[in-house]
Amino acid sequence: MPGSNENARLSTLIDEESLQARVRELGAQIREEYGDEPITCIGVLKGSFLFMADLVRAIGGPVRCEFLGGSRNHRGTRSTGILRITHDLKKSIEGQNCLLIEDIVDTGLTMEYLMRMLKVRNPTSIKIASLLDKPSNRKVEVDIDYVGFTIPDEFVVGYGLDLQDFYRNLPYIAVYHP
């Protein structure tokens, strides 16, 4: 469990002000592109919860909020891309414009799996917004429509991203130095 001296292991990568400014920018861009259309925002738990909370407010207008939970942390699945769905959508997305919201796209396996899973539910459209993009570690190609920041190959925490479930509540993104 991180104690106070653990903070020495953190160095700021994206500060709070830059994060918030970029999220506002993305929100305005998304709303502009969708016009007055309702957008079904689908947050991928747990990492996306802070980004999603800020992004939906920045998007404004008619927005629905749904959540998907997945886990690849159980034995044997981390590298295969098979995701255990721990929380499914509560409502149908048929005929809706959907925006899948992630904190980070790393190997791309999570997004590839979720996109395949959601496309068969017949949404009108489905796009991806990810706060962070770490392309250096990609295993499958993923087309990310809205990217907050492209980051180097570092282990990052904060603003939803965790180390053993801690650090999600940092209001900024930090590199964790083990």
Which residues contact ligand PRP (rule: CB under 6 A)? 44-47, 72-73, 102-110, 162
What residue number has its CB nearest to ligand PRP?
47
CB 131, min distance to ligand PRP, A = 10
Distance CA 4, CA 79 (A): 33
Secondary structure letter of residue 92 according to DSSP: -
Place of tokens 């861009």: 29
Distance CA 154, CA 13 (A): 10
Pick the closer one to ligand PRP by CB: 29 or 107.
Answer: 107
15, 106, 145, 153: which one is catalytic? Answer: 106
CB 177, min distance to ligand PRP, A = 19
Q: Does residue 145 carry a catalytic annotation?
A: no
Pick the closer one to ligand PRP by CB: 42 or 104.
Answer: 104
Pick the closer one to ligand PRP by CB: 18 or 107.
Answer: 107
Report which residue type is found at 47. Answer: G
57-95 core/surface letters (b: 16 or more CB in 10 A; e: else): ebbeeebbebbbebebeeeeeeeebebeeeeebeeebee
CB 105, min distance to ligand PRP, A = 5
For the annotated catalytic residues, the residue numbers are 106
